[in-house]
Amino acid sequence: MKKGILKTAAAVLLTLGIQTGASQAVAQNANQIVLENFNGKKVLVVYFSHSGNTRTIANQLRDLTGADVFEIEPVTPYPSDYHATTEQAQKEIRAGFQPPIKL
Ligand SMILES: Cc1cc2nc3c(=O)[nH]c(=O)nc-3n(C[C@H](O)[C@H](O)[C@H](O)COP(=O)(O)O)c2cc1C
């Protein structure tokens, strides 16, 4: 359980460091935490990215840890427009619809 929390914290730190363009020291610290917790272990990063930010982070985690990466891709892509996507997603959630994904 403790290890799980550490791993989650490491991933969140790394994500925050990248997304906020945090100082180099913070980014290095996040990288160090990731290496300490994941190095030499089998890691699978599964992600869904609409705009590409999460893909960038997933690939950075892959590069840091040697993880396998799997991108969740819907069979029917979401619209590129942000508001159209959130409207569609809200309707899908309300309807309990789970979009088919590419396997
Ligand atoms: C249509 C849609 C559905 C999403 N579904 C989930 C989900 O089920 N679980 C989750 O943790 N994140 C979900 N997300 C969040 C994405 O995984 C991602 O974190 C978000 O789109 C921001 O990253 P991006 O800029 O790379 O798109 C969803 C995003 C979108 C647009």
- The per-residue pLDDT for 1 is 47
β partners of residue 46: 70
Instruction: Quote the CA–CA distance of 92 and 94 in Å, as a whole number.
Output: 5
| CA 91 / ligand 1 centre spacing (Å) | 15
Instruction: Quote the CA–CA distance of 92 and 88 in Å, as a whole number.
Output: 6
Structure tokens at 78: 């979401």
Residue to substitute in 15, 19, 49, 50 for testing ligand 1 pocket (most ligand atoms within 8 angstroms of CB): 50
Q: Who lines ligand 1 at CB under 6 A?
A: 48-55, 78, 85, 89
Nearest CA to ligand 1 atom 14: 48
Give the residue extent of every domain in the chain: 2-72
pLDDT along the chain (103 residues), means of 10: 56 56 69 77 92 92 89 97 97 97 95
- The per-residue pLDDT for 96 is 98
Q: What is the DSSP string of 17-75?
A: HHHTT--HHHHHHHHHHHHHHHTTS--EEEE--SSSHHHHHHHHHHHHH--EEEE--BS
Instruction: Quote the CA–CA distance of 52 and 30 in Å, as a whole number.
Output: 21
Indicate yes or no: pTM above 0.85.
no
What single-letter amino acid sits at 44? L
- The per-residue pLDDT for 69 is 96
Nearest CA to ligand 1 atom 9: 48
